[in-house]
Structure 1
Amino acid sequence: MADSSHGPASFTAQANALLRKNLTFQKRNLRTNIILIAFPLIVCLISVLIKTLVNIELDKPKWKCGCISVDTNGDGQNETTCGVEYSTVDQVPSCPIPHPMVWPPFLQIPAPEYRAVTTDDVIPFSDLPEESCRRTGSCPVTILLTGANRSFGQSLAGNLINTGRSDTAFSPNSSSHVFDSLANVVLGSYSMPQVFNFLEPAFFSDLPVYIIQPQCAPNYSLSFSLQIESKTKQQEVRCVQGLHLWRNSSSEINDELFKGYLQGNSERKINEIVAGWVGAGSALGQSGLYNGIVHPSTWVQVSNAYLQFLRDAGTRILFEFVKEMPKPETKLRLDFSPLLGPLFFTWIILQLFPIILTSLVYEKELNLRIMMKMHGLGDGPYWMISYAYFLFISSAYMLCLVIFGSLIGLKFFTLNDYSIQFVFFFIFINLQISLAFLVSTAFSKVKTAAVIGYICTFGSGLLGGFLFHFFVQDPSFPSGWIVAMEVYPGFSLYRGLYDFGQYAFGANYMGTDGMRWKDLSDDINGMREVLLIMLVEWLVVLAVAYYLDQVLSLGSGVGKHPLFLLKNLAEKQSPPFPRPGLQKQESDVLVQMDKAEISQELLRDEPHTSHAIICHNIKKVYPGKDGNPEKVAVRDLSLALPRGECFGMLGPNGAGKTSFINMMIGLITPTSGTALVEGLDIRTNMDKIYTSMGVCPQHNLLWETLTGREHLLFYGRLKNLKGAALTQAVEESLKSVNLFHGGVSNQQAGKYSGGMKRRLSVAISLIGNPKVVYMDEPSTVQSNTEPSFSPVICTHLYSLF
């Protein structure tokens, strides 16, 4: 057997070997990769199917503008006429409205049975009305106030709702002057407001309209005729008292405002409050509104109150009407991108995280990562090729998502600038890959990593959709806290998708462009901060992940010194290799020997060029668990092996043979003592030792989908074999372990028998003629009575032939 190796493989050769292996491995998993990349297409097709079915339902007459057939010209011929006046409430949204009506502004107020009252279990303030008012329907609507200047705030409070006596405040002479009269009062309705105001919901229901007054006359009620298009409607008007209450702080208002609304839906113990106002110095600002509805009329109230405080009670701003722009006849259509938007796409994109994470942990759990390192694969090529592969898969995945989404017409993709989308998605997938490398250092089991990965995926989406989303929409929430929350990658992804969705929705509604680069400077746009945060996090997380991968020993061999980046300092902190000289200390070795033999072995334990391996007092102690004492696996073993020698270790089960081998190959760290391999210390120079080492571990560490030949080609390249030399070495290795004939070499290793896998492991350890070969029980068990070989260490094996 000739030495075909030409020194350690270069960075390029190692990267080439790993890349070829990964491509072959992924070729065997082609179906899985196609399904992964096609997942966005499948999701988009499902959404298109649902969208089509819903739109077919929306095309039915129930949702189209109402029409009648009448003789409009008197010629005896009926003509079809469509319009709001012929439509039901469900049909109105699709009708043309060339001349929208004007509507008076309304505050949304709580229904009488849910208005705030004194309840010890919900809101303990005693200045609220008694609960008995709910039985008579006479509870006032409450507005809370606070501020730095109480006297000023209470002065304004008296002017917030002050339009004179309730029995004379509203008395229209004719239906044509109804809305003019309504502009002089503060109106309220507990009908739910709509996004569009072509038809005011307060006038399209049987619910009364309320005039909010400081005091109401007993049993005040009136009705008037209201002309809406061609229909006349009788509208009931009632009076409701507006109650202003002072609180000591904005936190009390927030607590009372939201606790009352959210408390006990199952028992309907709801204490709803119209609004909360917070004063700052000589101003009064809005803190929150019932149901989150912000209406311009609320600001007019504050403006009027302040003007009356400065001038007189007769000074006021008339907010006469609210009116929408004209609209043509429209069809109701469903677009999933604004509807599902951030939450839906967050889940789709984060699906890659557990896939990358489990792939990394898989190689560590099966010790495939350390097996590659033992045969010369450096950390640099491993990181570069692995990262590049995950980046390629992630880029293909995101590209398919954007292309498929655009082809089916999702406004989320088609209206926003594609260059912004590219930068955003590219930075995030790099951050996601780096984060997977970082998190993988904490796991040693694939199942655990998969569970945690999918919990993070769905948890991030839910937290974004039902927590972070409301903070982003709340203008009173501090922007600094928003930025701090975006440091969490799930929230930064959600914020970017949220902004894309908002710009797409606005552009679709207004007929304009979506997000453009100039829009990143908008105050409401958080994309610029998100891009900066993700970019910085990407670089930081990647650096931290690499550092932990080198320092921690979980699945990647013996960890380096925490100061390994400061090479000189790390070397100072590492004690030099002890030179025992002629010291005659006794050592308990794994095999019982005479003291004379021990002394002779210790005399050989002297660094010398003729010895390939020198061990000195190497010891391994496992800590005790569950109250058991610590376990000494290897006790102060010393030996020296010259070049060209095979050394076999004998002993019963549990004697420490495998523990010794694992220390020598870098799987575990010695508790004390050390060993030199070709003059290199196993505690500090394992990376260099790996380049000249071969290993046949106790358990077969193989890729189930790679063939025997592909395994040997990969490890041969790691030993710097190329071209004809590589081919010859692989052929000889297969023949030497009887895996060459009958097409066995081209079968996947997962289909091999136990004996065939063992022979392949032996061939892997010998390819490239390494200087030192470790074999832990390398032989195949032929029968129940024939034992396998004990661990064997061979040095410069090719010199024996």
Structure 2
Amino acid sequence: MADSSLDPASFWTQANALLRKNVTYQKRNIKTNIRLVSFPFIICLLLVLLQGFINSQLDKPSNNCGCACVDTNGDGKCQKVCGLQYSDLDQAATCPIPNPPEWPPLLQVPAPEYRAVRTDFLPFTDLPNESCRSSGSCPTTFLFTGNNQSLGQILAGNMIKASFNLNASDVVDSLATNVVGSDTYPQTTNFLDPAFFSGVPIYNVQSRCSSNSTLSVSFQEFSINVQQEVSCVQGLPLWRNSSSEINNELYKGYRKGNSESKINEFTAAYDFLNSNGNSFNVSIWYNSTYKNDSGQASIALVRVPRLVNLVSNAYLQFLQGPGTQMIFEFVKEMPKPQTKLRLDLSSLLGTLFFTWVILQLFPVILTSLVYEKQQKLRIMMKMHGLGDGPYWMISYAYFLLISLVYMLSFVIFGSVIGLKFFTLNDYSLQFVFYFIYVNLQISLAFLAAAMFSNVKTSAVVGYICVFGTGLLGGFLFQFFIQDTSFPRGWIIAMELYPGFSLFRGLYEFSQASFMGNFLGTRGMRWGDLSDSVNGMREVLIIMVVEWFVVLFIAYYIDQVMSSGSGKSPLFFLRNFGKKPSTFRRPSLQRQGSKVFVQLDKPDVSQEREKVEQLLLEPSSSHAIIVDDIKKVYPGKDGNPAKFAVRGLSLALPRGECFGMLGPNGAGKTSFISMAVEESLKSVNLFNGGVADKQAGKYSGGMKRRLSVAISLIGDPKVVYMDEPSTGLDPASRNSLWNVVKRAKQDRAIILTTHSMEEAEVLCDRLGIFVDGSLQCMGNPKELKGRYGGSYVFTMTTSSDHEQDVEIMVRHLSPQANKIYHISGTQKFELPKHEIRIADVFQAVENAKSRFTVFAWGLADTTLEDVFIKVARGAQAFNVLS
């Protein structure tokens, strides 16, 4: 029966032990944990303090819609009137505007110093010379292409007027009917257009300009007089052969380098495609980077409608004549009530800060895993029986618990102190997002841990990833998100990097809470995920898929490469398709392309046949009958199963001592282990008070003799002895041998030993055991006769006659092998089948007559030689196979 105390611990026992280890580790690192948890608290408190300061500044009277005492009807009495028209224009964000102003539609015209000119990196020579920039006379360029060049040139000519017509009684209408533009950046709203209050000129685009082409115009908005200069700028239409040429020209020239001479900007570009007299299709290129710093200008506010109106009018005039046009009178904002200035700092800065807060868990988990690897803790736990299943389950659950507690504390604390980032967005949506991401982050840490063996290196790389991800997200990825012209597919591709997925999700929360606070509405809800502009749904999908993929890859790499495993890359296919087989012999061994058939030795086969016969005809004369027993230690941690005993069959009659010889690990002990006054006297443990001592106080040799005595108590029919004389002095060893000789009468003894002398003295038969299998059986004399195929000849002479000795030996045996040579002493192995002992003596006598022989000898094969020869031969065969 198997000893249950030797069975491996259960799954839950291992899990409980690992959990206790992790808890103990946390107790020891309480200061580190406090610093870890305090980081998000400090960030939140900092945001609250800054928010309070900003609110105090925004609540000042100068930042709110002002009032004034105004004589509204000329009677000399003033009345208190509030509103934008009687206060500072900077208060447009807070004052009520029931009737927003009507602004003339504008083009986005490049500033004079940036307008396109000839360069060395563009092949087109129809652009103006760079010298025009110094005089400020560079034209603003429009690019055109299409399938029908003649039609395209007609439409291009219709778009740009030849003159500027000003109606002094209606300046706003005059500006609308002409082609005017500005190089000022648009704002997020159009209550006050910066083009009319910036002090820079408005440009009137004409086919050619006269020498004195600057006019001063004035009009009134919000009871405020607007004075504005209108300068003429030439509109230069240029034809290109394809849209790819236009695309290259637009993007290769835009902001190329730091020098102003290398900045080429175009007003717009048009591709008329397959347009003709019956159909009108057009694609318009416009500069979408003309936005305010927050990047939130709509298409209308980057002045695209005027580009559409120009080309539409040009096509109508082509069909109906120059008198036909679609009038584009003005652009106008929606009315708005009075509001208070509010700026939610947590939403504005939260994306970057909270990315750092969440990502800082990554190096913490990573360094913890690498620490176990560096300090060999994982290997030690495996040596103590910890399996991969409990390790992964408890480690993962442990890090997940820490991460969730960390995130819940973060969200709860942020909500308690009133950060809109948390309070306005749906909590269930936030929980799902954070839960998915921390799982992905833990999986990434397990994957990254396989790449590091040093804690300091992993910590440095981890924190570089933390801060690098935040900075790249805030100063690169965010602008790609805000740029509506940037391909959505590239955004999704970038979100495959988990750090950018986190940043995008936090950015969506930030935008929702910012607008919700600004407009007095709620933040993000589950229904908002169906919005095509909202990227939260795709982020959740990406993170869920990556979570499982990364976790699978991390586990696979851990099994193949990590500490203590070392499995084959195809370990998961190891048991696939295998069927149990009952066919035992012969076994096939493969080496290269050759196949070897490993057959039992004749003596081993005879013993097997003997056992089979005894099983058919039971006999009381045999104390031990072993039939094809096996012992296999199951493989652990990726190591293959160990065959300690491979199908051993053995029959021992009473009165026989069977000795088992073999190297360490051959399986001898595994075999003899399978799954009182007279005795003490016989082993010299009775006299001198030795019998009264506790067994724990005996020396090593005394304990071994005591074990022999115990095994003989009760007159057993079978006795197993595992190296009984190891460590005994010669006298005690001889005494023990005599005890064993007397004890083997009428009983069978199986004995293992490394002592060849002990084997020859005690054993009637010997079996040499290698790699779990019997290699040969027989009495010592038979084994020496079977495997001892050579004599060892030794002769010592002066150094001058060494060559004479070797010639003599070669004459005796051409196959002689020199195995030792030093200072005149030489040893040779002589195959027995080539020589006779008498010939050796005769040769030595003849040699003595010719030179001086100091010493010589001829030795037969010893049992130790047999053992070494058999063991080496079997091990060499196993290595080759």
TM-score normalised per structure 1: 0.67
Q: In the aligned structure 2, how far is the partner of 1:149 from the partner of 1:40?
A: 62
Cα distance in 1 between the residues matched to 2:259 and 2:433: 43
Tell me the equivalent position of 2:13.
13
The structure 2 residue matched to 1:426, chosen from 435, 451, 466, is 435
Give 1:580 deviation, angstroms.
Answer: 12
In 2 relative to 1, CA 160–27 (structure 1 residues): closer, same or farther, beyond 3 Å?
farther
For residues 9-58 of structure 1, the C-alpha deviation after alignment (integer angstroms, 9 at most, x for no partner) is 10011111111221222123233223323322211111121222233333
Pairing of 1:365-376 with structure 2 (within 5 A): 365-376=374-385
The amino acid of 2:371's aligned partner reads Y
Q: Which residue of 1 aligns with 2:137?
A: 138
Structure 1 distance, partners of 2:357, 2:144, is 45
Q: Which residue of 2 aligns with 1:42?
A: 42
**CA distance in 1 between partners of 2:289 and 2:273 (Å):** 24
Identity %: 62
- The answer to whether the aligner puts 1:205 opposite 2:265 as a matched pair is no
**1:145-544 alignment runs, 5 A limit:** 145-147=144-146, 150-162=149-161, 165-167=162-164, 169=165, 171-174=166-169, 177-265=170-258, 269-282=262-275, 283-289=281-287, 291-293=289-291, 294-295=302-303, 296-544=305-553
CA distance in 2, matches of 1:646, 1:218: 118
Provide the C-alpha distance between the structure 2 equivalents of 1:118 and 1:521, rounded to a whole number of angstroms.
48
Alpha carbons 2:48, 2:419 under 8 Å: kept: no
Partner of 1:244: helix, strand, or coil? strand
Instruction: Tell me, yes or no, if structure 1 residue 100 matches structure 2 residue 136.
Output: no
Alignment of 1:565 onto 2:558 = no
Q: CA deviation at 1:112?
A: 1.8
Q: In the alignment, which residue of structure 2 is the partner of 1:52?
A: 52
Deviates most, 238-247 or 458-467: 458-467
Quick check: 1:274–1:290 contact (8 Å CA) kept in 2? no
Alignment of 1:55-70 (within 5 A): 55-68=55-68
Q: 2:219·2:226 contact (CA, 8 Å) conserved in 1?
A: yes
Task: Give per-residue Cα distances to partners, 1:319-355, cap 9 Å, x unaligned.
Answer: 2222223333433332224423533332322222111
Cα distance in 1 for partners of 2:771, 2:63 equals 84
Superposed displacement of residue 375, structure 1: 0.7
Q: C-alpha distance in 1, partners of 2:520/2:235?
A: 41
Alpha-carbon offset, residue 316 of structure 1: 2.6
RMSD in angstroms over aligned alpha carbons? 3.8
The amino acid across from 1:606 in the alignment is A
1:165-217 Cα shifts (integer Å, max 9, x gaps): 414x3x2241xx22222221222112221111111212113222222223334
TM-aligned CA distance change 1:298 to 1:14, over 3 Å: same
The structure with higher relative contact order (CA 8 Å, sep 6+) is 1
Contact 2:143/2:270 (8 A) holds in 1: yes
Write the distance in 2 (CA, Å) between the matches of 1:509 and 1:84: 19
SS at structure 2 position matched to 1:118: coil
Q: Deviations over 1:496-540 (max 9, x none)?
A: 233333333444444444333333233223322222221111111
The structural deviation recorded for 1:392 is 1.2
Q: Say if 1:108 and 1:393 are closer, same or farther in 2 by CA, change over 3 A.
A: same
Cα 1:365–1:212 change in 2 (3 A) is same
Report the AA paired with residue 193 of structure 1. P
Q: Distance in 2 between matches of 1:646 and 1:312?
A: 119
Cα distance in 2 for partners of 1:427, 1:348 equals: 16
* 8 Å Cα contact 2:342/2:518 also seen in 1: no
Question: Closer, same or farther in 2 for the Cα pair 1:410/1:103, shift >3 Å?
Answer: farther
Distance 1:149 1:487 in 2: 43
- Residue 440 of structure 1 deviates from its aligned partner by 0.9
Output the amino acid matched with 2:311.
V
Q: Secondary structure at the match of 2:428?
A: helix
Provide the aligned length of Structure 1 versus Structure 2: 598
Shift of the 302–450 alpha-carbon distance from structure 1 to 2, 3 Å rule, reads farther
Counterpart-to-counterpart distance in 2, 1:574 and 1:198? 90
Q: Given that residues 611 and 643 in structure 1 are in contact (C-alpha distance below 8 angstroms), is that contact kept between their aligned partners in structure 2? A: no
Paired residue type of 1:182? L
- Could you tell me how far 1:132 is from its partner in structure 2? 2.2
Distance 1:574 1:200 in 2: 90
User: Do the aligned residues in 1 keep the contact of 2:288 with 2:485 (CA within 8 Å)?
Assistant: no
Please state whether the residue corresponding to 1:179 is helix, strand or coil: helix
- The one-letter code matched in structure 1 to 2:566 is G
Tell me whether 1:606 sits opposite 2:613 in the alignment: no
When Rg is computed on C-alpha atoms for both structures, the one with the higher figure is 2
Quote the offset at 1:432 in angstroms: 1.1
CA contact (8 A) 1:153 1:284 kept: no
Gaps of 5+ in 1: 584-598, 614-640, 648-674, 678-801
Letter of the 1:459 partner, please give it. Answer: G
Does the CA-based 8 Å contact 1:563-1:570 persist in structure 2? no
Verify the 8 A CA contact 1:62 1:90 in the aligned structure 2: no
**Aligned letter for 1:126?**
T
Contact 1:611–1:642 at 8 Å: present in 2 too? no
- The one-letter amino acid of 1:194's match is Q
| AA at the equivalent of 1:131 | E
Pick closer, same or farther for the CA change 1:153–1:446 going to 2, 3 Å. farther
1:355-414 CA distance string (max 9 Å, x none): 111111111011111111111111111111111111112112222333333344444333
- The Cα of 1:543 is off from its aligned counterpart by 1.0
Give distance in 2, aligned partners of 1:644 and 1:75: 130
Residues 1:236 and 1:481: Cα distance change in structure 2 (over 3 Å): closer
Change (3 A) 1:64 1:517: closer
C-alpha distance 277-507 of structure 1, shift in aligned 2 (>3 A)? farther
2:16 aligned counterpart, secondary structure:
helix
What per-residue deviation string (whole Å, max 9, x for no partner) do you get for residues 695-743 of structure 1?
xxxxxxxxxxxxxxxxxxxxxxxxxxxxxxxxxxxxxxxxxxxxxxxxx
How far has the Cα of 1:98 moved from its partner?
3.2
For the residue of structure 1 that corresponds to 2:102, the secondary structure is coil
Change (3 A) 1:560 1:279: farther
Mapped to 2, the partners of 1:160 and 1:612 lie a distance apart of 105
CA distance in 2 between counterparts of 1:37 and 1:605 reads 53
Residues 366 and 446 in structure 2, CA contact (< 8 A), matched pair in contact too: yes
* Change over 3 Å in CA distance of 1:72–1:187 after alignment to 2: closer
1:400 and 1:241, CA in 2 relative to 1: closer, same or farther beyond 3 A? farther
State the alpha-carbon separation in 2 of the partners of residues 193 and 213 from structure 1.
23
- Cα deviation for residue 249 of structure 1 reads 4.7
